[in-house]
Amino acid sequence: MGTAYFIVLERPVAGLDTSMDGKSLAKEVADLDWTAKETGVRPLSEFVSVNPEMAREFLEGEGVSTSDIPLPELQKFSAEDGLKSVRMLFREIQAWVPGAKDTTGVLADLRECERILEVAAKQGVRWHFEVDF
């Protein structure tokens, strides 16, 4: 199946489909984060957060006792901050040397992020990335 990034909104937005592939974002996260840092925007990996209860359930399902493990609070980010990073990365990746790397999947994932975050921004809804393994 593979690892994938996906957007989680703090609340549902009527009529907004938040589904996306996200596999290319996960696969290229190191290059994307490097590019983000070079261009002065927040790296996508810094928008990742996990609901502490979901993390606890996962760890306990894997046989890890969580009674002594402090889990961080769920972080939520402004859609505007996410849009700034997504749009800058889209522009930068479009400018990569043609043929040097297949960017089709990454560009498609970034477009999906932009579509979702644009609506979230208009509605004042915060968000975060989660990673599906």
- List average pLDDT for each run of 10 residues in the chain, which is 133 residues long: 92 97 96 96 97 86 86 94 98 80 93 98 98 88
User: Residue 129, SS3?
Assistant: strand
What pLDDT is recorded for position 10?
Answer: 97
What pLDDT is recorded for position 54?
Answer: 86
Write out the DSSP string of 110-121.
HHHHHHHHHHHH
Question: What token pair was written down for 114?
Answer: 């932009």
Please calculate the CA angle 95-97-99 and round it to the nearest 5 degrees.
125
Backbone angles phi, psi at 111, to 5 degrees: -65, -40
* 125, 116 Cβ separation under 8 angstroms: no
Pairwise CA distance, residues 62 & 60, whole Å: 5
Question: What token pair was written down for 74?
Answer: 């769920």
Distance of CA 47 to the CA centre of its chain: 6
How far apart, in Å, are the Cα atoms of 25 and each of 13, 32, 104?
23, 8, 11
